Amino acid sequence: MSSVESGAGGSSARATSLRDLPRTLGMLTATALVVGSVVGSGVFKKAAPMAAQLPSPTLVLLLWVAAALISFLGALCAAELASTFPDAGGLYAHLRRAFGPFTGFLYGWSVLSVIQTGTLASIAYIFAEYLRVFGGWGEPSPAVASLGGTFFGVIDFFPLRDLGTKFVAVCCLLVVTVVNVLGVRLGARVQDAFLWIKLGILALIIGVGVVGASSLLAPFEGPLVPPGLDPATMGWGPLMAAVTLGLSGVFWAYDGWINVTYVGTEMKNPSRDFPKALAIGMALVSLGYVGVNAAYFALLPIDKVASSSLVASDAVSAVVPSGAVLVAIAVILSTFGALNSTALVSARVYWAMSRDGLLWRGIDAVHRRRQTPHVSLWIQFVWSSALVFSGTFDQITDMLIFVSWAFYGLLAVAVVVARVRFPDVPRPFRVPGYPWVPLSFALFSAAFVVLSVVENTRNALVGALLVFLGVPFYLYFSWRSRQSQVGC
């Protein structure tokens, strides 16, 4: 067996293992997974902090456009690797092939320990917060809620604070886990339905903005750079810091485009469907995000956007009397769809790691009747629930956005490595503008990581520590794998 075959996940020797997760997903579901993984709560949350950091509607909208274009370049790189090597685990497998098992493990460990499980916890919590609009639930006394503390000077650990909301969030996680344990077809059908629901929500908010705006050019009025950040008087430091923090928020909202690649072995026609799904999905998300944020600024002044805790509700309520209720329903639906897609795809990373001997045995089990990675899904549920009760998920995911982008930069480099190492492997899709597009994306990712570390050093150091806590586990699993080979 050649190295290309073993790395590509297409060898006959491994075909039986890969068929354990049946090929049932088509292009519509793949597109729904892209949209569903990206559109969660970010578009409803990030406008306010961005407006506070950058009090210029035009500059904020330019950041949303720039982040869309940059994310699209990353999606092109993902499309080439996913269509050429449709592996389970997606980026984990691509990094493992290009840079060795240690790099692949660090990414998979980050996905399991924080990146995806923390995302699930965060989205579930937001789902529960908005569900509370339609009926409250009891909370513990202030004395009980205050039990806990702050670690590393940045992580607040108060497990009993907002206990009712956390309990509802875990119940929601349980529902999406059961849905995906019962069958990938059921999870896919749910996701297909939420594709149209999410697009309808974005279109509705944009439509309200068009109808209710006094001027459609309102978001572009005023100076591009506000006086308080003008480089001519303040230097470039404050503007660069504000742009870096703003981009962190926007990239968090766009994050998730890589998720669809995790289900490579379950796609009916990955060579054709991955590129189309990533391109169509990211185009729909980008248009929706820019349009929704333009609607916010068309309906509300910049200072009102910056001070709003529920900017979507405030913007829609300026035109529709029951806007707050409508937006609450929209966020509930959007976050549930994001939970389903993220839970569905992320469990495949841990499944693939276990199959490769880089995680505990048994996580790669497949349900005999349902043909789903049920053990992986339940482990994901347990750890995501623990993060919900810890109350640290938002802080940890904020710390690790730069880590995600470090791995995205390696994704782009992996395209180049694969072209050099495996030149004869058929490539159904090739990144346009190679090698400049992947190299440009890799350079931007490196620059963004450096700026993130400089502007938020403490969070970056704690985030790096969380990632490298996986090193002892890697050493253990590597040792165990060697022992198993010796035993054979």
Run of H or E residues at 292: helix 270-299
pLDDT at 481: 82
Q: What is the pTM of this model?
A: 0.86
pLDDT at 196: 92
Please check whether residue 13 lies inside any domain of the structure: no
- The total number of structural domains that make up the chain: 1
**Structural domain of residue 385, as residue ranges?**
24-487
pLDDT at 13: 34
CA 86, 90, 94: angle at the middle one, nearest 5? 85
Residue 256's closest CA among 452, 415, 383, 91? 91
What is the phi/psi pair of residue 151, to 5°? -115, 145
Cβ neighbours for 456, distance < 8 A, ≥ 6 positions apart = 245, 248
Please check whether residue 1 lies inside any domain of the structure: no
Residue 29's closest CA among 37, 39, 21, 20? 37
Query: Across 29-177, where does the E strand assignment appear?
Result: 149-151, 155-157
What string of H, E and C letters represents the secondary structure of 84-100? Answer: HCCCECCHHHHHHHHHC
In angstroms, the CA 406 to CA 95 distance is 12
CA 43, 115, 468: angle at the middle one, nearest 5? 145
Please check whether residue 387 lies inside any domain of the structure: yes
Please check whether residue 8 lies inside any domain of the structure: no
pLDDT at 140: 67
pLDDT at 374: 93
pLDDT at 2: 37
| pLDDT by 10-residue block (mean), the chain, 488 residues | 40 42 88 90 82 87 93 95 93 95 94 88 87 75 66 64 85 95 89 90 91 77 72 74 81 88 91 93 94 91 86 87 84 90 93 92 89 94 89 66 88 96 94 95 91 76 82 92 73
Encoded tokens for 315? 């913007």
pLDDT at 434: 92
Please check whether residue 14 lies inside any domain of the structure: no
Q: What CATH number is attached to the domain comprising 423?
A: 1.20.1740.10
Please check whether residue 6 lies inside any domain of the structure: no
In angstroms, the CA 109 to CA 471 distance is 9
Please check whether residue 11 lies inside any domain of the structure: no
Q: Let me know: does 343 contact 123? Beta carbons within 8 Å.
A: no
